[in-house]
């Protein structure tokens, strides 16, 4: 069952694209987006757009993480190819996918995004369309007053 607004998020730890163990600090505002596969058309669009908005997210104090069941090597190649500067968490055993209750198809996570504030799910985006999603999440955060952009 997918986590819903009001649910506490689990503690997670996973290697990023550099092979470093990452444990997101759920303090403040965090965007955790699940995507099916590195270097595919939709996933590339989504990742590039999160990268394009990354400075605005950071200026607003928001951390961004991408998660897929791909491994560290795949994430490393994907991040390097597209200049991604945020952590891509490798979840080859789908432990994070399962912990958040994200649906899978053919072993890959269905595109789902969580907005987490101080360890609690604030919003869930299911059935995400990759084009424009990064901007949509940021605009929703601003419009709801959860963050401000200077």
Domain spans in the chain, listed from the N-terminal domain onward: 14-18+25-141
Instruction: Tell which residue, 75, 13, 87, has the closest CA to residue 39.
Output: 75
* Distant-in-sequence, close-in-space partners of 147: CB < 8 Å, separation ≥ 6: 29, 60, 61, 62, 141
The answer to whether the beta carbons of residues 23 and 11 sit under 8 Å apart is: yes
Q: What is the pLDDT of residue 46?
A: 97
Fold category of 14-18+25-141 in CATH: Glutaredoxin (3.40.30)
pLDDT tens digits, 126-148: 989 999 999 999 999 999 988 88
d(CA 117, CA 125): 15
Catalytic: 43? yes
The answer to whether the beta carbons of residues 130 and 37 sit under 8 Å apart is: no
pTM above 0.85, yes or no: yes
Which member of 9, 43, 72, 89 is catalytic?
43
């Amino acid at each position: 069952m997918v986590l819903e607004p009001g649910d506490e998020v689990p503690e997670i730890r996973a290697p990023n694209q550099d092979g470093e163990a990452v444990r997101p600090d759920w303090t403040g505002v965090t965007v955790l987006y699940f995507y099916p596969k590195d270097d595919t058309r939709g996933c590339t669009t989504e990742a590039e757009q999160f990268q394009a908005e990354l400075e605005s997210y950071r200026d607003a104090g928001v951390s961004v993480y991408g998660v897929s069941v791909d491994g560290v090597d795949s994430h490393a190649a994907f991040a390097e190819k597209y200049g991604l500067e945020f952590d891509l968490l490798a979840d080859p055993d789908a432990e994070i996918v399962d912990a958040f209750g994200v649906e899978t198809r053919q072993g890959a996570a269905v595109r789902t995004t969580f907005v987490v504030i101080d360890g609690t799910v604030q919003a869930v985006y299911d059935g995400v369309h990759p084009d424009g999603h990064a901007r949509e999440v940021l605009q929703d955060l601003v419009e709801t007053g959860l963050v401000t952009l200077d």
